Amino acid sequence: MASKLLQLENVNLSLENFRLSDINIDLYEKEIHVVMGENGSGKSLLMQVISGFIAPTSGQIYIQGKAVKNKAFSSDLYDDVIYIRQDATMLTQLSIAENLFFHNLPYKNKLLRSIDYDKLNYMCQQLIEELGLPVSVFDTVSSLGFAQRQIIEFCRAYISDAKIVILDEPSSALTPSEHELLYKIVNKIKARGAGVFYITHCLEDVSLLGDRITIIKHGKIMGTKIVAECPQEEIIRMLSGHYIKNRYPKIVIRKGKNIFSARNLSFADKLYNINLDVYEGGILGITGLAGSGRTLLANCLFGAVDNVKGDILINGVKVVLDSPYKAICNGIALIPENRLTDSIFGALDVKNNVAVSSLKRFANYSMINTTFLEQAVANYVAKLNIPQNPNNNILEYSGGNQQKAIFAKWIMSRAKIFILDEPTRGLDVASKIDIYNSINDLIRKKAGIIFISSDIEEILGICDRVAVLAGRTLVCNVPTKDISVEKVMELSTSKEE
């Protein structure tokens, strides 16, 4: 039997809004261990623990039977683990060869550190030929596309001496031929004796590559199986887990007229033929895997992307949304996925962040009546339970309170159509509940909502209808009561045909 490279024993990690609990996972030599789970289930966090970026709160990690000290950037892990992330981190101005062998450069003279370029390029050429890569030694990384950069990163994992290789969603951005190449490289990594943690959303990867599979959900391991003995349905069932629909506070609203529709919306080669309708008092849920274009779709609907084809209708009338400003004027609000960069003004306090979309109402000959503005804002801030200390900088507030302030902003501006992109991701439970109940308040008063989330339970618990974005388009659009988590999961992992 192959020897055990890595073992985690009862590892716990508590962060502000998330925890990994009782993680037991191991990795053998020459093994591809697939890790699956929804977005935000803790896969990447677990890998950061394994690679030593974050020290666990408790528990023990063993490498080849030897206990590792629980501290961040532990040197015990440094040489043994290589972690290839989704966002390739490369030195873009250097050549492929330099990037590949950066940690292991051949020197003409060790003392003077003069690099032996002939040898370097030769080594690289050998590798390119061995793997049949469609690149040249002398290309600089900046000339490569995203997928090619990733392939180079995989090669780096291949040539390194690390016993444990972590590939974080390596296949998500690749074309079929690049997929082939990825499989080839991964199998070579396996052949050189390393163990691979392979994070993916794609069930095909599991059956083609995986030796064992571990499913992780809400920071807990749901189970580890040997792939050969585990039918695909079993994996889907484990992925969806025991789900609880009824903990989301859903209210029953009689739906009103159609207030927002998209017809045949397409964008470049990313989105194709999207149709959707939002009604007064209705919540349309949209889910899909990371990279399926959910956020792009949200931006298209908000006029934040140029060259979108197709029509958008508000109250049945065609409108041209060529800028977010137009969208806002038409009563559309977007709560973007990335709070820090896309929706809050870091330099302003909570009060001004809330007020920013409603300033016009308080202006008198381009002078803002700050006294009245403050009174009005204070009212909204209090009603959403945002801690009263309105002069603090918004960055000092917790994520939950920041998100509630963003909510207050659009509520104050009286938007009618709310596009919420992952509104509760990474929030504490209390803020989530406040947001669900605020959504209830919105639909009770005839607003319409598009609720984008990767948490399928949440979608099924909150929304009236659910649409799944997969293979560039919405593959279904059905009432939430008629569909199960398993079915949604299956639809979102389906490939475009």
Partner 1 sequence: MFAIERINIIKDYLLKDKHVSVAKLSSLLNVTEVTIRRDLEKLEKEGFLKRAHGGAVLNELLDDSYLIEPPQEDEHTIQRLEIADTVFHIISDNDIIMLTDGLTNQQIAKKLTQKSGLTVLTNDLKIALEFSTSPGNKMILLGGDLDEYAVYGQLAINNMQNFSLSHLIVEVDGICKTTGITVSSISKASLIQQACNMAQTVSIVCLAEHFGEKSFYRVGGLEIANKIITNSTLKDTYKDFLFDLNIQLYTSVDIYEE
Q: Summarize as ranges the residues that interact with partner 1 (CB under 8 A).
A: 244, 246-253, 361-362, 364, 369, 372, 375-376, 379-380, 383-385, 408, 411, 414, 428-430, 432-434, 437-438, 440-442, 444-447
Closer CB to partner 1, 208 or 253, in the complex: 253
Closer CB to partner 1, 81 or 442, in the complex: 442
Handedness of CA 365, 370, 371, 373 (dihedral sign): positive
Shortest distance, CB of residue 432 to partner 1, whole angstroms? 7
- Nearest Cα residue to 259 out of 311, 299, 298, 317: 317
- H-helix or E-strand spanning residue 118: helix 117-131
Shortest distance, CB of residue 285 to partner 1, whole angstroms? 17
Closer CB to partner 1, 197 or 362, in the complex: 362
Shortest distance, CB of residue 411 to partner 1, whole angstroms? 5
Shortest distance, CB of residue 56 to partner 1, whole angstroms? 23
Closer CB to partner 1, 266 or 398, in the complex: 398
Closer CB to partner 1, 377 or 452, in the complex: 377
Closer CB to partner 1, 411 or 468, in the complex: 411
Please give the distance of CA 382 from its chain centroid, rounded to a whole number: 32
User: Residue 81 carries which side chain, given as an amino acid letter?
Assistant: V
Contact yes or no for 387/431 (Cβ under 8 A): no
Which two tokens mark 201? 């959303």
Closer CB to partner 1, 214 or 240, in the complex: 240
Closer CB to partner 1, 159 or 415, in the complex: 415
- Three-state SS for 319? strand
Shortest distance, CB of residue 345 to partner 1, whole angstroms? 21
- Nearest Cα residue to 164 out of 27, 60, 68, 67: 27
- Three-state SS for 279? strand
Give the contacts of 364 (CB within 8 A, at least 6 positions apart).
Answer: none
Which two tokens mark 341? 């960069």
Shortest distance, CB of residue 466 to partner 1, whole angstroms? 19
Q: What is the bridge-based pairing of β-strands 417-421 and 448-452?
A: parallel
Residue 53 burial by CB count (10 A; 0-12/13-18/19+): exposed, middle or buried?
middle
First CA to last CA across the chain, in angstroms?
41
DSSP 8-class letter at 385 = T
Shortest distance, CB of residue 412 to partner 1, whole angstroms? 9
Closer CB to partner 1, 211 or 457, in the complex: 457
Closer CB to partner 1, 49 or 332, in the complex: 332
Shortest distance, CB of residue 272 to partner 1, whole angstroms? 34
Closer CB to partner 1, 7 or 401, in the complex: 401
Contact yes or no for 209/45 (Cβ under 8 A): no
* CA–CA gap between residue 211 and residue 154 (Å, rounded): 19
Please list the residues that pair with 275 across neighbouring strands: none
- Nearest Cα residue to 150 out of 136, 135, 170: 170
Shortest distance, CB of residue 460 to partner 1, whole angstroms? 13
Shortest distance, CB of residue 405 to partner 1, whole angstroms? 12
Closer CB to partner 1, 69 or 414, in the complex: 414
- Three-state SS for 282? coil
Among all chains, which residue has been given the structure tokens 């093994």?
Answer: 31
Please list the residues that pair with 363 across neighbouring strands: 368
Query: In Å, what is the CA distance from 358 to each residue of 109, 349, 368?
Result: 66, 15, 11
Handedness of CA 226, 227, 229, 230 (dihedral sign): positive
Shortest distance, CB of residue 31 to partner 1, whole angstroms? 36
* CA–CA gap between residue 244 and residue 85 (Å, rounded): 32
Which two tokens mark 360? 């016009």
Shortest distance, CB of residue 371 to partner 1, whole angstroms? 8
Beta strand residue intervals within 381-455, DSSP E:
417-421, 448-452
